[in-house]
C-alpha cells in the first residue's frame, strides 16, 4: 500500500469528520424552544404547589416565627432547624433547598402520565417530614390530575425538614386543608425514624410526635418492630383501597418502612420505575412489595440529581416561579433538518467509503495488539477493584493481665462482671495494634454520694498517658450491685486508637465520691471480607432484639420446630446464618441442638451444635429467655433463584434465634 494512497484515506476521513461537525453546529444553532407534553397540566400543578408554599410563608410570618435566612435564603418557612427533639436522621441542606421548587410538581405530573394514570385512579403514597417541599409537589400533582391518593406519613424528619415540633408535616396538611389549597390529607401516621417506631428519638421527642398526630386527628399505626410496621402499612393500604387496585406507588424520602432497609437506597433508582429488577433485598418494604405486584413506583430521593435531570436549579437562594425549567420548555432540534442531514451524511459515507472498506481500509487495526492488551489490563484492574475486600468491624471483650478484682452487677435478668478501677494501680491489658479499643465505665454509688457524681478516667499506653476524660454519672434504674442493692450509673464510653505493634494499656480511675468506678474493655476486631449486610427472611415465628452490655443491639428472627425460617435468594452467593439456642431461666451447663437446611424442598445439609449460655447479653422484651453462644453456618447458593428453609430438629421443643447476612456485592441478584 502506497504512502500516497494512505494520505488520501486520511484526507477523506478528515473531510467527513469536518462535515459532521459543521452539520452538528448548524443543528445546535437552529434549536428552538418547544413546549413539552402536557404543558398546561404541568403548569396547573406547579401553580397549586406555589399556593401551598405561599400559605406556609404567610402562616409562619403571622406566627412571628424567626426564619433563618442563611439556611432558608428564600424565606420559605419550609426549612426547619438543624436539630430538634423530633429530628431522626442526618439531612442534606442542599437537597432540602433544591426540593423547595413548585416546578417539581410538573416533574411528578410527567411521572404520573408515564404511568398512564387517569382521573379517579387510586395511588398509594408514603411521605415523611424530611422533604415537605416534595410532599407538596406530590399533593399538587395528584390534585391537578384528580387522582385518589392514600397517604401514610412518617412524622419524624431529618435535619432542616419539617422537624419543628409545633409545625410538623401534619400541621402543614391541616393548614392546606383549612385554606382550601389541598383536599388530600394523610389517612394514617407513624413515628418514622428507626424501625418506623421512633427509635433514635428521646421519649420527649416521641411524645411531641404523638401530640402532633393527635392534634391533627390522624389515625396512628402502632408497631413494636419493623416487620410489623411494614405489614401494618400493607394491610392499611389494602383496606383503604376498597377493592380497587392501586395504579402507582409514590415514596418521598428514605422512610425505612417504605424502603425496607437503609441498604436498599443504593439499589433503588430515583424517578419512575416499572421494574426494579432482580435484587437480593435485605428487607422488602412497602415500595418493593408493591413493585412485586406489578405496580409502577415513583421513588423521590437524590433530589439534586433529579433537579439536574429536568433542568431545575440546585439549592437556589430564590423562590423559583411556576413554569420555569426544561420540564416545561426545552430547546429542541429541528427534526426535519436533522433527518435531512442524516440522510445526506449516510449517503456520502456509502458513496465515498464503500470502495475503500472493501479494500480493507481498517485492516491495520488487526496489526495493533497493544491496544487490546491495554484494554485487557484496564478491565482487569476495574474488576479487581470492584471485588476488593472491605473491612468489617466487631467489638470483642479483652481479658486483663492484672486487675484489682471484679464486681457483679445485676439488671434484674442477667448478671455482668465489671473490673474495679483504682487511682493508684492500673488495670493492665496487652493489646496488639493497629486497632481501636473501647472502654465502658460505670460508677457505683457509695454512702452519702449525691445523685450525680463526677469521676475521671486515665488511659496510659506503655507508661505514657494518651487519654484523660471526666464523666458525670447518671443513675440507671434497674441495675444494682449483686446481693447489695447499691445504685449503678449508666454506661460511659471512651475510645483510643492503638498504633502498630504490641503495647501495654493501663487504665486508672478516680472519683470525687465514696463509691467505686468499674469498667470493661473491648477491642475492635477487623477481618477481611466482602462486607455483609443483614438479610430479612420471609417466614419466621417472631422478631427478637438482642441487647449486649456494651450498648449495641442486634435483630434476630426466632423460629421453632413447627415454624421454620424461610427465605428466597438469587445466586450465586454465599449466605451466613448465625443461630443462637434459647435458654430458659434455670437451664445450666451446655445444651445440644440441631438444624437442617432445605433448598427447594431438598435437604441441603444438617448442622449439630453444643452450646452454653451467652454472658453479658439478654432479650429486653423476653426476659424469660436467655441467648446461647452464637453458632455460624454457611449456605452456598448456586446460580438462579432458590427457596430455603432452616428447620429446628432437636430438641423437640427447641427455639432458635437466627440472623442472616449476605455479601453486599451480591445484593444485585442475577437470574
Q: Strand, helix or coil at 176?
A: helix
Average the pLDDT over 551-571 and give the result: 88
Q: Strand, helix or coil at 64?
A: coil
pLDDT band per the 50, 70, 90 thresholds, residue 389: very low
Average the pLDDT over 642-653 and give the result: 89
Q: Can you point out the beta strands (E) in 374-450?
A: 390-397, 406-410, 415-421, 427-444
Assign domain 393-529 to a CATH class.
mainly beta
Are the C-beta atoms of residues 520 and 407 closer than 8 Å to each other? no
Would you list the DSSP string of 358-395?
HTTTTGGGGG-HHHHHHHHHHHHHHHHHHT--EEEEEE
Kindly give, in sequence order, each residue whose CB lies less than 8 Å from that of residue 250, ignoring residues fewer than 6 positions away.
Answer: 108, 123, 124, 125, 126, 138, 149, 297, 298, 300
Are the C-beta atoms of residues 260 and 230 closer than 8 Å to each other? yes
**Domain assignments of the chain as residue spans, ordered by start:** 1-31+336-387, 39-329, 393-529, 532-666
Is the per-residue pLDDT at 63 higher than 50? no
pLDDT band per the 50, 70, 90 thresholds, residue 392: very low
Residue bearing the bigger pLDDT, 413 or 102: 102
Q: Is the previous residue joined to 641 through a cis bond, with omega within 30 degrees of 0?
A: no
Residue bearing the bigger pLDDT, 248 or 6: 248
As given in the structure block, the three cell numbers for residue 181 are 389549597
Is the per-residue pLDDT at 317 higher than 90? no
Q: What is the mean pLDDT of the chain?
A: 85
Residues 19, 17: Cα–Cα separation, whole Å? 5
pLDDT band per the 50, 70, 90 thresholds, residue 212: very high
Question: Which neighbouring-strand residues pair with 16?
Answer: none
Q: What is the dihedral of CA 597, 602, 604, 606, to 10 degrees?
A: 50
* pLDDT on residue 393: 54
pLDDT band per the 50, 70, 90 thresholds, residue 388: very low
Residues 25, 11: Cα–Cα separation, whole Å? 21
As given in the structure block, the three cell numbers for residue 382 are 476495574
**CB neighbours of residue 90 within 10 Å:** 8
Q: Name which of 590, 584, 600, 577 is nearest 648 in CA terms.
A: 577
Would you list the DSSP string of 493-511?
EEEEEEEEEEEEEEEEEEE
* pLDDT on residue 246: 96
pLDDT digits (tens, 9 = 90+) for 67-88: 677 888 888 889 999 889 999 8
Assign domain 532-666 to its CATH architecture.
Sandwich (2.60)
Average the pLDDT over 153-167 and give the result: 93
Is 532-666 in the same CATH topology as 393-529?
yes
Is the per-residue pLDDT at 53 higher than 50? yes
As given in the structure block, the three cell numbers for residue 119 are 382521573
pTM (two decimals): 0.66
Q: Strand, helix or coil at 521?
A: strand
Average the pLDDT over 444-448 and give the result: 86
Least confident of 5-14, 57-66, 459-468, 595-604: 57-66
* pLDDT on residue 354: 65
* pLDDT on residue 109: 96
Amino acid at each position: 500500500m502506497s504512502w500516497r494512497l494512505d494520505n488520501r484515506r486520511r484526507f477523506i476521513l478528515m473531510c467527513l469528520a469536518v462535515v459532521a461537525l459543521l452539520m452538528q453546529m448548524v443543528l445546535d444553532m437552529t434549536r428552538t424552544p418547544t413546549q413539552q407534553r402536557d404543558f398546561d397540566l404541568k403548569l396547573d400543578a406547579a401553580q397549586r404547589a406555589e399556593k401551598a408554599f405561599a400559605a406556609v410563608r404567610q402562616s409562619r410570618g403571622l406566627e412571628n416565627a424567626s426564619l433563618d435566612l442563611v439556611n432558608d435564603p428564600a424565606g420559605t418557612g419550609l426549612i426547619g432547624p438543624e436539630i430538634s427533639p423530633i429530628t431522626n436522621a442526618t439531612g442534606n441542606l442542599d437537597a432540602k433547598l433544591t426540593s423547595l421548587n413548585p416546578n417539581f410538581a410538573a416533574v411528578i405530573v410527567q411521572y404520573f402520565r408515564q404511568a398512564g394514570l387517569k382521573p379517579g385512579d387510586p395511588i398509594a403514597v408514603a411521605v415523611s417530614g424530611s422533604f415537605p417541599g416534595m410532599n407538596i409537589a406530590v399533593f399538587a400533582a395528584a390534585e391537578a390530575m384528580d387522582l385518589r391518593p392514600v397517604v401514610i406519613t412518617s412524622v419524624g424528619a431529618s435535619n432542616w425538614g419539617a422537624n419543628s415540633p409545633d409545625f410538623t408535616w401534619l400541621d402543614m396538611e391541616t393548614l392546606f386543608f383549612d385554606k382550601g389549597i389541598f383536599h388530600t390529607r394523610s389517612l394514617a401516621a407513624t413515628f418514622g425514624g428507626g424501625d418506623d417506631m421512633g427509635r433514635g428519638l428521646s421519649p420527649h421527642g416521641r411524645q411531641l410526635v404523638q401530640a402532633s398526630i393527635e392534634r391533627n386527628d390522624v389515625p396512628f399505626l402502632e408497631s413494636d418492630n419493623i416487620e410489623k410496621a411494614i405489614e401494618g402499612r400493607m394491610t392499611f393500604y389494602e383496606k383503604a383501597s376498597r377493592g380497587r387496585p392501586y395504579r402507582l406507588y409514590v415514596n418521598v424520602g428514605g422512610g425505612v418502612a417504605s424502603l425496607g432497609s437503609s441498604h436498599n437506597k443504593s439499589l433503588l433508582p430515583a424517578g419512575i420505575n416499572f421494574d426494579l429488577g432482580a435484587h437480593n433485598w435485605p428487607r422488602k418494604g412497602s415500595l418493593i412489595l408493591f413493585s412485586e405486584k406489578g405496580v409502577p413506583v415513583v421513588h423521590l430521593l437524590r433530589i439534586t440529581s433529579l433537579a439536574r435531570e429536568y433542568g431545575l436549579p440546585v439549592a437556589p437562594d430564590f423562590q423559583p416561579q411556576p413554569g420555569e425549567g426544561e420540564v416545561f420548555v426545552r430547546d429542541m432540534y429541528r427534526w426535519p433538518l436533522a433527518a435531512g442531514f442524516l440522510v445526506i451524511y449516510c449517503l456520502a459515507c456509502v458513496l465515498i467509503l464503500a470502495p475503500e472498506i472493501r479494500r480493507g481500509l481498517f485492516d491495520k487495526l488487526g496489526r495493533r495488539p497493544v491496544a487490546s492488551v491495554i484494554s485487557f489490563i484496564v478491565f482487569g484492574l476495574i474488576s479487581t477493584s470492584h471485588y476488593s475486600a472491605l473491612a468489617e468491624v466487631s467489638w470483642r471483650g479483652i481479658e486483663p493481665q492484672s486487675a484489682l478484682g471484679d464486681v457483679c452487677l445485676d439488671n434484674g435478668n442477667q448478671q455482668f462482671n465489671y473490673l474495679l478501677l483504682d487511682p493508684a494501680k492500673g488495670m493492665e491489658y496487652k493489646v496488639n495494634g493497629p486497632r481501636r479499643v473501647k472502654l465502658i465505665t460505670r460508677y457505683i454509688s457509695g454512702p452519702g454520694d449525691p445523685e450525680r457524681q463526677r469521676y475521671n478516667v486515665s488511659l496510659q499506653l506503655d507508661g505514657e498517658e494518651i487519654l484523660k476524660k471526666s464523666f458525670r454519672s447518671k443513675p440507671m434504674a434497674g441495675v444494682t450491685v449483686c446481693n447489695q442493692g447499691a445504685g449503678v450509673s449508666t454506661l460511659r464510653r471512651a475510645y483510643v486508637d492503638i498504633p502498630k505493634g504490641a503495647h501495654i494499656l493501663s487504665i486508672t480511675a478516680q472519683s470525687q465520691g465514696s463509691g467505686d468506678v468499674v469498667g470493661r474493655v473491648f477491642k475492635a476486631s477487623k477481618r477481611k471480607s466482602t462486607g455483609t449486610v443483614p438479610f430479612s427472611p420471609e417466614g419466621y415465628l417472631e422478631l427478637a432484639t438482642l441487647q449486649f452490655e456494651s450498648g449495641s443491639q442486634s435483630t434476630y428472627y426466632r423460629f421453632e420446630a413447627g415454624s421454620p425460617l424461610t427465605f428466597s435468594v438469587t445466586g450465586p452467593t454465599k449466605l451466613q446464618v448465625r443461630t443462637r439456642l434459647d435458654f430458659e431461666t434455670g437451664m445450666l451447663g451446655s445444651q445440644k441442638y440441631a438444624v437442617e437446611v432445605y433448598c427447594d424442598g431438598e435437604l441441603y445439609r444438617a448442622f449439630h451444635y453444643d452450646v452454653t449460655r451467652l454472658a453479658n447479653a439478654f432479650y429486653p422484651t423476653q426476659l424469660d429467655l436467655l441467648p446461647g453462644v452464637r453458632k455460624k453456618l454457611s449456605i452456598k447458593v448456586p446460580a438462579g433463584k432458590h427457596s430455603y428453609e432452616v428447620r429446628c430438629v432437636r430438641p423437640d421443643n427447641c427455639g432458635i434465634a437466627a440472623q442472616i447476612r449476605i455479601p453486599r456485592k451480591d445484593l444485585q441478584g442475577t437470574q
